Homo-oligomer: A and B are copies of this chain.
Amino acid sequence: MKPDASIADAVKLAGWAKRTQRSALQDLLVATAQPGIISFALGLPAPELFPVEACAEAAARVLASSGAALQYAPPAAALKARIVQLMARRGVRCREEQVFLTAGAQQGLSLALRVIVEPGDVVITETLTYPGFMQVLEPLGVRLVTVEVEPDTGLDPRALERVLRAQPPGCVIYGMPQGHNPLGYSLSVATRGALVDLAERYRAVILEDDAYGRLTYGDAAPALRASSETAVIYAGSFSKTLAPALRTGWLVAPESMIERLSVAKESADINMATLAQRIVVSMLDHMDYEAHVARLCAEYRRRRDAMVDALEQHLADEARWIVPTCGVFIWVELRRSIDTTALLRRAIDDEQVAFLPGAAFRAERGGGRATRCLRLNFSNCAPERIHDGIARLARVVRASSLPR
């Protein structure tokens, strides 16, 4: 056998794969998992709030009767029925025939795009957006067009219209109107209406990522999908309300897309996640899901408040931020022009605290204010630890003598 050194030459990689780098996410999962590190870096739920017992009991139930839960089987109709009920909580009326089960919201975004775009098609994102969506775009050869976004007000319909006017009809617009990742904003009802109107007028399709939609700390506006079943494809997930490792999410899509989504998922992973789907159905049947979500929201709200308090106490003179009413992130902009990518390394080394630098969320390379911004997650740490972590972060920022 040849030594591994020669292998890089032997296997030709596709162009996109050569260009693409491993995401910061995977590396940070390793770096920030060291004991002693206080990490605000990733969007991790609080594991102590997972419904572990409900999950263990559900697994025991579905495996008790027979081997059926371990066999290939079509997507669980019972789960689609439950999702139709849950969508009402997001203001959405839909039918089981419009629900497509996925391995989390990420797979929903990936499959939906694969089914509707071709190389050269235009996909519109905000200038600051979820990097996992950019990873989906990478191999598809689409033309990326960005819309300037303000961290505090979110996606601006007027800015979007300027972009849409310059594009052919049939664009795909990716958006996260509720609990935006990384900016934390949630759009007003009026803005939502304007966005859907625009999509319908310009024959565009909005891919609505609602992964955090149920984690609200105040009134939640209905999902975009509530206003249009033709112009919006909705992606939801149990990852943030039950647990990520169940790998169970869904799309609500036009019925005409479902069969094609099914073909795409078969080719991706056979489309038979029997065990996980039955466990989720059994959990929903036996637990009080709404009470569980309410407990989650109450605790995450406490953590958000703790982080905002700590920011005010330690960083008010160095930074500004918006208090989110949904989701698990606070977007922080430093007043001084400090490069937060360089700051992260020092934060980990000197103070054992981690965050994600703003530059990680840029849809395109280039400057902009994002380089002095950072994203903080508040769902994964208890309040006292949040206070400690923000105090550490403030020391790193203060010690920073690197104006650009």
Query: Which residues of A are interface residues toward B (Cβ below 8 A)?
Result: 1-2, 4, 6-8, 10-15, 17-18, 20-23, 25-26, 29-30, 42, 44-45, 47-50, 52, 55-56, 59-60, 63-64, 66-74, 93, 103-104, 106-107, 110, 114-119, 132, 135-136, 138-139, 170, 203, 205, 228-231, 233, 243-247, 253-257, 259-260, 262-264, 266-276
Residues on B with beta carbons closer than 8 Å to the beta carbon of A48: 67
What are 7 A-B contacts defined by CB distance under 8 Å?
Answer: A7-B255, A11-B257, A12-B116, A56-B60, A106-B270, A110-B269, A245-B274
A277–B60 alpha-carbon span in the complex (Å): 17
**With A52-B67, A72-B44, A74-B29 known to touch, is A14 a contact of B118 (CB < 8 Å)?**
yes
Known: A12-B205, A50-B71, A72-B244. 17 other contacts (CB 8 A): A7-B254, A11-B116, A11-B230, A11-B256, A13-B116, A17-B114, A26-B262, A44-B71, A52-B63, A56-B64, A103-B103, A110-B268, A110-B269, A132-B270, A139-B264, A245-B276, A247-B275
Closest to A94 in B: B1
Task: Looking at the assembled complex, report how far the CB atom of A56 sits from the nearest CB atom of chain B, in whole angstroms.
Answer: 4
Q: Which of B56, B116, B246 contacts A14 (CB 8 A)?
A: B116
Q: Who on chain B is nearest to A109 by CB?
A: B267
Min CB gap A360→B, angstroms: 14
Establish whether residues B243 and A67, one from each chain, have CB atoms under 8 Å apart when the complex forms. yes
- For A45, list chain B residues within 8 Å (CB): 71
Q: Is the CB–CB distance between A273 and B245 below 8 Å?
A: yes
Min Cβ gap A228→B in Å is 7
Q: Residue A115 contacts which of B8, B13, B231, B270 (CB distance < 8 angstroms)? A: B13
The answer to whether A136 touches B267, judged by C-beta atoms less than 8 angstroms apart, is yes
A47 touches B74 (CB 8 A): no
Query: In the complex, are the beta carbons of B10 and A74 less than 8 A apart?
Result: no
Cross-chain contact of A72 among B6, B42, B275 (Cβ < 8 A): B42
Residues of B within 8 Å of A72, CB to CB, are 29, 42, 44, 244-245
